[in-house]
Structure 1
Amino acid sequence: MRSLFTIGLIASWYASNIGVLLLNKFLLSNYGFKYPIFLTLCHMMACSLLSYIAIEWLKIAPMQRVKSRLQMMKISALGFIFCLSVVGGNISLRYLPVSFNQAVGATTPFFTAVFAVVMTSKREGWITYVTLVPVVAGVIIASGGEPLFHLFGFMMCIGATAARALKSVLQGLLLSSEGEKLNSMNLLMYMAPVAVMALFPAALYMERGVVGITIALARDDWKFLIYLLFNSALAYFVNLANFLVTKHTSPLTLQVLGNAKGAVAVVISILIFKNPVSITGMLGYSLTVAGVILYTEAKKRSM
């Protein structure tokens, strides 16, 4: 029974991860709702509300209180970087196919290793760094073979991937003491409102008229409102499923499942959006995934 429950959690995590990615692409590119900052704002508003309900009312995770102004400042810094990573990822989906977006996103371990050395002087064994070579080489090959390559979209995707890695390294640095550590659900509950406060004025200034356009679209097509609400709720559920899978398995299992999830997302996105792919691009992505698997194995052996 327990194994069935775990399998169900993993399936939910896969479905929510891939679902929010495909819905983002559909809204931002195929549907023509070209407002990635506002879309991210909707995601963060849903995360703020639903994470509070899940912790305070449903007791999915124990409530952890912020104990000092300094701790809140650290959480706010993480929230801002988290916000940049999500916005960058959503902007990239306007210009890049999901398959290539996932290929670039797979280079997160490379940026994590770089930031870890620069910010903490923590060095891994040489074999760990060797495994990062195919991770980067694969993306370079995939870029050269991507029929729908877009330089600005590629830069946004790289930026989002780097910001995601920076957040994970900073989280270990800023919230390192036992009194300051927060589980992922509590951290999201405190980070999401910070992201909302940063995104609201940014959306109003950089995506002028977006609120009126969104209301008009919802009036003209009720399905758009359903898409937007479901997409926002799904963005929160990704984090919830991630937390529950980690709780019932292990962080290492999550890494392995994440590698497979990227490959599944690529196949499904190609089947749905029918974007052209080249043999060179697929070989490059396969090399990156192989590098990430080797990196995970090398990290496990070095522990």
Structure 2
Amino acid sequence: MKVPASGRLFTIGLIACWYSSNIGVLLLNKYLLSNYGFRYPIFLTLCHMMACSVLSYVAISWLKVAPLQTVRSRVQFVKISSLGLIFCLSVVGGNISLRYLPVSFNQAVGATTPFFTAVFAYLMTLKREAWLTYITLIPVVAGVMIASGGEPSFHLFGFIMCIGATAARALKTVLQGILLSSEAEKLNSMNLLMYMAPVAVAFLLPAAIIMEEDVIGITIALARDDSRILWLLIFNSALAYLVNLTNFLVTKHTSALTLQVLGNAKGAVAVVISILIFRNPVSVTGMLGYSLTVFGVILYSEAKKRSK
């Protein structure tokens, strides 16, 4: 069946919006946490989660972007809360890593998500993939090891935070499949975000107050001196929600596989743009390592597709 031109244009527009919001929030996070000097990654994540809480409710309840799904039991709520905590840790870890690492290296480490997903899936469900799928993970890990050795701006704490964030992201994916596996408990990504985000806010608010001393007072004082910080935080938080919304819509109007393929290319685009904007030094070894990781991820996607 031929897809109408207007439908194709709409899909292309959605993909462009998904790319822009993904890369935009990554670059803006880096700018705020590193270049601007707003060194409060937990508070920044709190702003993101507050925006996700409010905007996802508006999108589902008022704009009807997705049908409203209710939490059916206390057990289901506990499961969602557990996912919310892991989701929150992955975002905080990613934001902390951006204080110390360039976006290009952050993306290289983030590309190892399939490796951690395969490891957690085996450890938690004893689910074995085809041997070819595991072989494709070798270049994924080898690429990051090469990129680490050739990264001029390598920072050990930033690297540990980035690895932790990547592992948490993979753990959330695997746990989501286990915890919300029954048809009665399954939630689409927009409803899951609407319930997870307030849980993340509940964890992040005391964490920001305790670990980032007087962060609210400092932010207010900064806003008095430079109102731009307020607009940057609001725009950044809205963009963080837009990433989730466009992710859901692109999957709905194309497929999960298309999203995966586009995601592989997105990392490479983000690397090139970040190098052009931030002028961070790169080495030939680092770029070769990152290229090997991306190649491994593409092979992994192909192997997974063929094994189904």
User: What's the CA shift for 1:71?
Assistant: 0.2
Partner residue of 1:114 out of 119, 127, 130: 119
Match of 2:84 in 1: 79
| Aligned-pair Cα RMSD in Å | 0.3
Structure 1 segments of 4+ aligned residues over 4 angstroms from their partners: none
Match of 1:234 in 2: 239
Partner residue of 2:187 out of 168, 182, 186: 182
User: What's the CA shift for 1:217?
Assistant: 0.8
Alignment of 1:20-39 (within 5 A): 20-39=25-44
Alignment of 1:90-239 (within 5 A): 90-239=95-244
- Give secondary structure in 1 for the equivalent of 2:261: helix
User: What's the CA shift for 1:139?
Assistant: 0.1
Task: State the identity as a percent.
Answer: 82
- Give secondary structure in 2 for the equivalent of 1:131: helix
| Cα distance in 2 for residues equivalent to 1:54 and 1:216 | 33
Partner residue of 1:267 out of 264, 272, 292: 272
Partner residue of 1:89 out of 72, 88, 94: 94
Deviations 1:188-231 (A, max 9, x none): 00000000000000000000010000001111111111100000
One-letter amino acid of the structure 2 residue matched with residue 230 of structure 1: F
Match of 2:52 in 1: 47
| Cα distance in 1 for residues equivalent to 2:307 and 2:12 | 29
- Gaps of at least 5 residues in structure 2 are 1-5
One-letter amino acid of the structure 2 residue matched with residue 74 of structure 1: K
Match of 2:286 in 1: 281
- Gaps of at least 5 residues in structure 1 are none
| Cα distance in 2 for residues equivalent to 1:170 and 1:23 | 30
| Cα distance in 2 for residues equivalent to 1:230 and 1:108 | 27
| Cα distance in 1 for residues equivalent to 2:224 and 2:25 | 23
Normalising by structure 1, we get a TM-score of: 1.00
One-letter amino acid of the structure 2 residue matched with residue 25 of structure 1: K
Deviations 1:215-271 (A, max 9, x none): 011111111111000000000000000000000000011000000000000000000
One-letter amino acid of the structure 1 residue matched with residue 87 of structure 2: F
One-letter amino acid of the structure 2 residue matched with residue 72 of structure 1: F
| Cα distance in 2 for residues equivalent to 1:56 and 1:219 | 35
One-letter amino acid of the structure 2 residue matched with residue 226 of structure 1: W
| Cα distance in 1 for residues equivalent to 2:62 and 2:170 | 32
User: What's the CA shift for 1:124?
Assistant: 0.5
One-letter amino acid of the structure 2 residue matched with residue 233 of structure 1: A
Normalising by structure 2, we get a TM-score of: 0.98
One-letter amino acid of the structure 2 residue matched with residue 158 of structure 1: I
